[in-house]
Amino acid sequence: MVATVEPTGLTMHELTARYRRGEIAPTEATEAYFARIAERDPQVAAYLTLTREQALAAARAADARYRAGAPRGPLDGVPIAYKDVLCTEGIVTTCGSKILERFVPPYDATVVARLGAAGAVMLGKTNMDEFAMGSSTEHSAFRPTRNPWDLERVPGGSSGGSAAAVGAELAAAALGTDTGGSVRQPAAFCGVVGLKPTYGRISRYGLIAFASSLDHIGPLTRDVRDCALLLHAIAGVDPHDSTSVDEPVPDYPAMLEGGVRGLTLGVPREYFGSGLDPEVEAAVRAAIARLADLGAAIEEVSLPNTDYGLAVYYIVAPAEASSNLARYDGVKYGLRAPGGKDLIDMESRTRAAGFGAEVKRRIMLGTYALSAGYYDAYYGRAQKVRTLVRRDFEAAFARVDLLVAPTTPTAAFKHGDKADPLAMYLNDVFTVGGDLAGLPAMSVRCGFTAAGLPIGLQLMARPFDEARLLRAAHAYEQSTDWLARRPTLA
Amino acid sequence: MISREEVRHVARLARLHLTDDEAERMREQLDAILAYIDKLRELDVEGVEPTAHAVPLVNVMRDDALAPCLPQEQALANAPDRADEFFRVPRIIED
Amino acid sequence: MSTTTYETVIGLEVHAQLATVSKMFCGCPTTFGAGPNTQTCPVCLGMPGTLPVINRRAIELAVRTALAFECRVNPSCRFARKHYYYPDMPKNFQISQYEEPLAEDGGLEIDLPGGASRRIGIQRLHLEEDVGKLVHEGTLETAHASLVDYNRSGMPLMETVSRPDLRSPEEAATYLRAFRAVLVHLGVCDGNMEEGSLRCDANVSLRPRGARELGTKVEIKNLNSFRNVQRALEFEVERQARALDAGERIVQETRLWDADRGYTRPMRSKESAHDYRYFPEPDLVPLVLDPAFVAERRAELPELPRARRERFVDAYRLPAYDAAILTQSKALADYYEAAVRESGNTKAVSNWIMSELLREIGSDDERAITTCPVTPAHLGQLVKLIDDGTISGKIAKGVFEGMLRSGDAPGAIVAREGLTQVADTGALERVIDEVLAGNPKPLDDWKKGKTAAAQALFGLVMKATAGKANPAIVKRLLEAKLPKI
Ligand SMILES: [Mg+2]
Ligand SMILES: [Zn+2]
């Protein structure tokens, strides 16, 4: 049978519907993706590694299950991509770093194992800022990834490869990670759906740690339904992650309908201050008006410690990173620089050669913040201010059901535009709060700039209230035709 | 203001070999970032509990049960240098 | 000697490997002696993306120990990361406890020479993970390279820090013995120092007698037997005393005990940077030990060595000396009580254990005691055989040798080798007549009034019965017979 539409142009749920009707088989869809990747990825550079053999083997097994009329579920045979921060058994996992260029994990991340068991087909591993430290994917040790809507621009980061792969239709969906906004910001820049669920909702086992108390895994998808499907498949407690929470996993895809009537949406004043691009503000305000039309009550709220949140983030994240990255010393795995005259010399040269400038900066910053005499002034104080940030959200959610705001201050910027580290950091000002407080937050497409760059609307919810978050996002998405627009990759 | 000596000390703690130029550039950049972070001093955090985890959990433990080990070859497969069944490191001179 | 003008101040830091089946934070086995790097997994190799999960059993054993040492078990405790670079530590940080340890403020009563005793304070008790093993090609100084085996990485360690309450190397060794006995009684640690299940570091300082403030302390590492603890501390005390006498200042440093050469030498510590950058372990959540959990652990507490020793004196009427030795290890105390149950003769069993059994086996060698071919029941039976006159004490010694070699019951050996005493007077009279007939010389001597000759005749009779004759009966018969000749 012949597919009426290019399978790569379909959402996961559209694709699996065709699988079930026998209009197309997983191997055909998988081949179509590899063909498109061969054609377009040289421009986009979303992938670091392609896993064609494993993918086709998995796809053939899925073919057989559909032929037998017994698919494993809504993800069986779906071609997806993983950010290269997620460990994949027997497949090199670099974390975007020279220091892990040849590291082959003997284990799968829990999310990878769960999606594998659900029948998903791994196309490959996607590019990222080294150790997820960055907001543009320019800090990948291997190559920069380009924004499918404008190749001159960055896809955002650190999950830029995953967002670009989904935006450029080089994967049906992908997983990314979000520590300061690394799923939502690239989702906004690439015009896809990106969700960072509640901390503890998804196991971190096998996610190469950047900042343990802030790292979240999240889906990047074409639409909200796909997002719900992917989240449902990977959420839930994991005995290998002590910080994963034993909360029942609702049937998210079944809870998408119902709209926003009766919900109160809060608009945080501090997210609309100076520094917010007028085009972005206009699009977000319009989206909020649309949600009001759909029956939601709108109320202004205040998150007074928003600006401090960014400062907290740039202490806590580097501090934890300096500890998590201490293990890369050229002893057990990964790079070892030649010519070390003794152990310390070898370790220092290996880390100097293996880490990029941004990673070194954060290791230095974090080591300094934890070192004798500075702990209380920096790390200790930051963890207290983190409490104040959390209280801001608690106070807001005592009055409203969801928060609506821009995902980023601007649309995608040009490569090289944010050479100054601090300027790059300020890009995360609207997203770090969700990570510090561990709240579910997502970004959906809410329009385009005059230059044709997608703009992201951010929604945030109470802990473990992903169902309501997805329901509102779905209601908004269904009420617009933004998804009709597709990147030309011109 | 972070001093050149502090940068050197921290680089030693972090096992990062820095050239003099790198150390100086690092000092300037850390200064800028720390200057921004210093805004935290404006806040009164007297009596505020620190947040280590966004989601408060306690007493997560496992049973004392065996799980499969890695085969020796797999344990050593990623080693940059090895001698038979050991990981091998250059001679240790304490700092 | 100059040390008499100073007071010695010692504190011990003991690391005990907890008797769990699996490691502290992963499911790898804790068994000793496996091939290099055969007992590891991604977690204890510190591979990227892996996460620790607390072993509940380790917490239970640590709380049980804390209660035995009368520590305050903190209602809430947490783990922290301790950072320093060393290749035996895969993550280059150790998951330990810092500001919120599992337990604090306990103590252990130790015996002092002359029957007195003193409570040694225990400052804190916390849990941490062990590191791997480094093998140097040559010595640490001469090695071109070092080899790493991560089997031991992640083993559950309980660190117990005493207060500086010990006043001599002897006291330190006594404390360590008593400490070990408690752990072994509790079943929380096998106490095997050779295999590193129990390791000890010491902090030593001297101060002028009567002075209040402490002198500069020196840390001594690698004290891995009772004997070495005492030897190393004696050396160090002497070294510091000489230095002080010479007007030198003591440098605060870490020194390594070299058991072969018998001295301590400065060790450029792997922790010399001494900036551990502790912070709460974000991959683990706090422990809030509710009273019920602690109560369960309290209910698990067995009789402790001190209480048992006192009971041995009261219940078995043993001298304090015997009771002290018999309770040096749980295995030995159990052995004694089992043997007594068999024979009922409390003192005789004690004598046999102390004179014979402990000649073969160390009093704190649990393994040897529990696997000894002479079972407590058999030893009890042996004592019975003596008490009911079946064999003499002299014969019994030989039987004991046989029991050690064969593991057979004493009754079986006695029967097999026909060692039963001859108590039949008729039979013995005949033997005596033969001896008197066959040995005119001593008989003449006796007739001439040399009473010593009776003793010679007695010996000849015993010899003739290969020692099986009941000596008391032989004596009586001889004394009755001789005057009639
Ligand atoms: Mg310790
Ligand atoms: Zn392990």
pLDDT in tens, A295-349: 999 999 999 999 999 999 999 999 999 999 999 999 999 999 998 999 999 999 9
Which residue in the list A83, A125, A196, A418 is annotated as catalytic? A83
C-alpha separations of B55 from A331, A464, C49 in Å = 35, 10, 20
CA dist., res. C165 & res. C104, Å (int): 16
C40/B59 CB distance under 8 A: no
pLDDT for B74 beyond 60: yes
* Higher-scoring residue by pLDDT: B94, A207: A207
Contacts of A474 (CB under 8 A, 6+ apart): A224, A225, A228, A256, A257
- Chain C residues in contact with B60 (beta carbon < 8 A): 53-54, 284-285
Sign of CA pseudo-dihedral C446, C450, C454, C460 = negative
Hey, how many other C-beta atoms are within 10 angstroms of the C-beta on C292?
Answer: 7
Domain count, chain B: 1
**For C57-80, what is the mean pLDDT?**
98
Confidence of residue A4 (pLDDT cuts 50, 70, 90): low
Give me the pLDDT at residue C460, please: 87
Amino acid letter at A14?
E
Taking the C-alpha atoms of residue A244 and residue B27, their distance in angstroms, rounded to an integer, is 38
Question: Would residue B17 count as lying in a domain?
Answer: yes
SS3 A193: strand
Distance CA(A45)–CA(A154), nearest Å, equals: 11
- Catalytic residue, chosen from A162, A182, A203, A244, is A182
As a dihedral over the C-alpha atoms of residue A198, residue A204, residue A209, residue A215, rounded to 10 degrees, the angle is -10
- Pick from B13, B64, B86: which is nearest to C55 by CB? B64
How many whole angstroms separate alpha carbon B60 and alpha carbon A240? Answer: 10
Band (B95; pLDDT cuts 50, 70, 90):
low
Ligand nearest, relative to CA of residue C101: 1
Question: Do A322 and C276 meet the contact criterion of CB atoms below 8 Å apart?
Answer: no
Of A291-295, C380-384, C458-462, the one with minimum mean pLDDT is C458-462
CB-CB under 8 Å, C287 with B87: no
Residue B51 forms contact with A (CB below 8 Å)? yes
Asked if pLDDT for residue C1 goes beyond 60, the answer is no
Please check the confidence at residue A50 and state whether its pLDDT lies above 80: yes
Residue B24 belongs to a domain? yes
Helix, strand, coil abundance in chain A, percent, nearest 5 = 45, 15, 40
CA distance C251 to C80: 30
Q: CA A298, A303, A304: angle at the middle one, nearest 5? A: 140
Q: State pLDDT tens for residues A397-435.
A: 999 999 999 999 999 999 999 988 888 888 899 999 999
pLDDT at A3: 43
Q: Decide if B66 is inside a domain.
A: no
What architecture (CATH level 2) is domain A7-303+394-484?
Alpha-Beta Complex (3.90)
Cα gap A240→C25, rounded to integer Å: 10
pLDDT of residue A297: 98
Q: How far apart are CA A387 and CA C305, in angstroms?
A: 49
Kindly write down the DSSP assignment for every residue of C410-434, as one continuous string: HHHHHHHTT---B--HHHHHHHHHH
Does residue B60 form part of some domain? Answer: no
In contact, A86 and A175? CB cutoff 8 Å: yes
Q: Are A390 and A257 in contact (CB under 8 A)?
A: no
Residue B30 included in any domain: yes
Q: What is the pLDDT of residue A82?
A: 99
Beta bridge partners of A177: A217
Question: Is A384 known to be catalytic?
Answer: no
Range C301-308 average pLDDT: 92
Domain encompassing residue B35? 4-41
Is the pLDDT at C168 greater than 90, yes or no?
Answer: yes
Lowest-pLDDT range of B49-53, B81-85, C137-141: C137-141
Q: Nearest CA of chain C to the CA of A339: how many Å?
A: 14
pLDDT value, residue B25: 96
Are the beta carbons of C162 and C109 closer than 8 angstroms?
no
C283 touches chain A (CB under 8 A): yes
Asked whether the beta carbons of residue B94 and residue C146 sit closer than 8 angstroms, the reply is: no
Look up A158 and say whether it is catalytic.
yes
Question: How far apart (Å, rounded) are the C-alpha atoms in residues A318 and A378?
Answer: 11
- Check residues C328 and C243 and name the one with the higher pLDDT: C243
Structure tokens at A451: 């230059």
Q: Which two tokens stand for residue C398?
A: 């030989």
Task: Give the pLDDT of residue C174.
Answer: 94
Q: A205 CB near a chain B CB, below 8 Å? A: no
Name every chain A residue with its beta carbon within 8 A of the beta carbon of C282. Answer: 211-213, 243, 320
Buried b (16+ CB within 10 A) or exposed e, A368-379: bbbbeebbeebb
Q: What percent of chain A has pLDDT over 70?
A: 99
Catalytic pick from A97, A136, A140, A158?
A158
- CB atoms B58 and C288 under 8 Å: yes
pLDDT over 90 (residue C376): yes
A288 in Cβ contact with A265 (< 8 Å): yes
- The helix/strand/coil state of B54 is coil
Judge whether C481 is closer than 8 Å to chain A, CB to CB: no
> What average pLDDT is seen over chain A?
96
Q: How far apart are CA C327 and CA C334, in angstroms?
A: 9
Is there a domain that residue B87 lies in?
no
Please give, rounded to a whole number of angstroms, the shortest distance from the CA of C125 to a CA of chain B: 19
> Residue for token digits 């749920």?
A13
| Residue B84 lies inside a defined structural domain of this protein | no
Q: Which residues contact A68 (CB under 8 A, 6 or more apart)?
A: none
Q: What is the CATH number of the domain that holds B15?
A: 1.10.20.60
Residues B7-35 have pLDDT tens digits of 999 999 999 999 999 999 999 999 999 99
Interface probe, candidates A368, A376, A435, A465, chain B, greatest B C-beta count within 10 A: A368
Q: Tell if the CB–CB gap between C87 and B87 is shorter than 8 Å.
A: yes
- B82 CA distance to ligand 2 middle (Å): 20
The owner of tokens 């009537």 is A261
Nearest CA in chain A to B73: A106
When pLDDT is cut at 50, 70 and 90, the band that residue C269 belongs to is: low
Q: Which ligand is nearest to the CA of C158?
A: 1
Nearest CA distance, A407 vs chain C (angstrom): 27
Asked if B25 has any chain C CB less than 8 Å from its own CB, the reply is: no
Paired tokens of C123: 């400052």
Interface contact flag, A390 B51, Cβ < 8 Å = yes
- Report the chain A residue with the minimal C-alpha distance to residue C276: A371
Q: What secondary structure letter does DSSP report for C166?
A: B
More confident site: A27 or C114: A27
Count of other CB atoms within 10 angstroms of residue A12:
25
B61–chain C Cβ distance below 8 A for any pair: yes
Residue of C nearest to A348 (CA): C85
Pairing of strands B82-83, B86-90: antiparallel
Residue in chain A nearest C44 by alpha carbon: A332
Matching residue, tokens 């991340």:
A109
Residues C17-53: tens digit of each pLDDT: 999 999 999 999 999 999 999 999 999 999 999 999 9
Whether B68 contacts chain A with CB within 8 A: no
- Planar angle of CA A245, A251, A253, nearest 5 degrees: 125
Lowest mean pLDDT among A137-151, A470-484, C93-107, C434-448: C434-448
Averaged pLDDT of chain B? 94
Pairing state between β C80-83 and C6-17? unpaired
A98 is catalytic: no
Q: What would the pLDDT profile of A269-283 be if each residue is shown by its tens digit?
A: 999 988 899 999 999
Which residues of C are less than 8 Å from B12 in CB distance? Answer: 273
- What is the structure's pLDDT at A174? 99
Whether the bond into A158 is cis, omega within 30 of 0: yes
Which chain A residue has its CA at the smallest distance from B18's CA?
Answer: A352
How much distance in Å is there from the Cα of C93 to the middle of ligand 2? 16
* Closest C-chain CA to A206: C49
pLDDT band at C140, cuts 50/70/90? low
Sequence ranges of chain A with CATH classification 3.90.1300.10: 7-303+394-484
Q: With left for phi above 0 and alpha for psi between -120 and 50, is residue A431 left, alpha or beta?
A: alpha
Q: How far is C450 from C437, CA to CA, in rounded Å?
A: 18
Q: Which of residues 129-168 of C touch A (CB under 8 A)?
A: 146, 148
- Contact call for residues C153 and C40 (beta carbons, < 8 A): yes
Is the pLDDT assigned to residue C395 strictly greater than 60? yes
Q: Is C213 exposed, middle or buried (0-12, 13-18, 19+ CB in 10 A)?
A: exposed
Residue B72 lies in a domain: no
Report how far Cα A442 is from the mean position of its chain's Cα atoms. 10
Q: Which residues share a beta bridge with A178?
A: A216
Give the DSSP per-residue string, A322-360.
HHHGGG-SSSSSS---TT-SSHHHHHHHHHHHHS-HHHH
Q: Are A116 and A71 a contacting pair, CB within 8 Å?
A: no
What residues pair up with A129 in beta bridges, in sequence order? none
By three-state DSSP, how is residue C9 classified?
strand
Q: Does A212 touch chain B (CB under 8 A)?
A: no
